Amino acid sequence: MTTTVVVVLNDRGRLKRLQTELAACRPAPATLVAIGAGETPLAEVTRLDAAAARRQRQRSMARWLIPFGFLAGLTFTYITDLDTFAFAGAWSQHLIGALLGLGSGWMGSFAAAASVRSDEDDRLRALRNRLEEGNWLLLAETAPGVEMPWRLLQQARPQAVVRLGDG
């Protein structure tokens, strides 16, 4: 299991020292990204991008909503025995109903992904606000099974240490 944290610092010198000290640890964190003025722009860090998280949720929802919609559309046309698409023939009208259900499942995945807000979205917004206030962020992610050097993080006297979802 990996641990992901974002350290908020108000001094770029402390940021650089912490980044160097973390990189010197054995084993070193798998990811170390400094974010802020003169460092990596926030837009380039996909882990801290709420829109990327929403796209990932949409793809995850689509994985099961699209097949479910297809089967629901097919089942609906057989159960109701409506001749809505009679021009297409008996067999094809069931296929058209299934394809419409598939499209509904695809659209539903967008609606479901946009309506679900996670706690992590709120944390990301707070981090973005800290960055706009002139602070720097250090994104640190450990490899699976490696403990985060918490003592080293606390010695840097950060303004905040925000733990993101572990994976």
For residue range 12-69, what is the model confidence (pLDDT) as tens digits?
Answer: 888 898 888 888 888 888 888 888 888 888 878 877 777 777 788 889 889 999 999 9
Going from the N-terminus, what domains does the chain have, and what CATH number goes with each? 4-37+134-164 (3.30.70), 50-115 (no CATH)
105 or 123, higher pLDDT: 105
Q: Is the pLDDT of residue 155 over 90?
A: no
- Strand order of the β-sheet with 4-9 is 31-35, 136-141, 4-9, 160-164
Mean pLDDT of 111-117: 77
Q: Is the pLDDT of residue 89 over 90?
A: no
For residue range 118-146, what is the model confidence (pLDDT) as tens digits?
Answer: 666 778 888 888 888 988 899 888 888 88
Distance CA 41, CA 71 (A): 44
User: What is the per-residue DSSP string for 6-42?
Assistant: EEEES-HHHHHHHHHHHHHSSSPPSEEEEESTTSB-G
pLDDT given for residue 62 in this prediction: 92
The candidate with the shortest Cα–Cα distance to 32, out of 8, 4, 11, is 4
pLDDT given for residue 102 in this prediction: 95
User: What is the per-residue DSSP string for 48-105?
Assistant: G-HHHHHHHHHHHHHHHHHHHHHHHHHHHHHHH---TTGGG-HHHHHHHHHHHHHHHH
**What phi and psi, each to the nearest 5 degrees, are found at residue 41?**
-70, 150
Distance CA 47, CA 32 (A): 12
Q: Is the pLDDT of residue 99 over 90?
A: yes
Mean pLDDT of 88-114: 89
Q: Is the pLDDT of residue 167 over 70?
A: no
pLDDT given for residue 26 in this prediction: 85
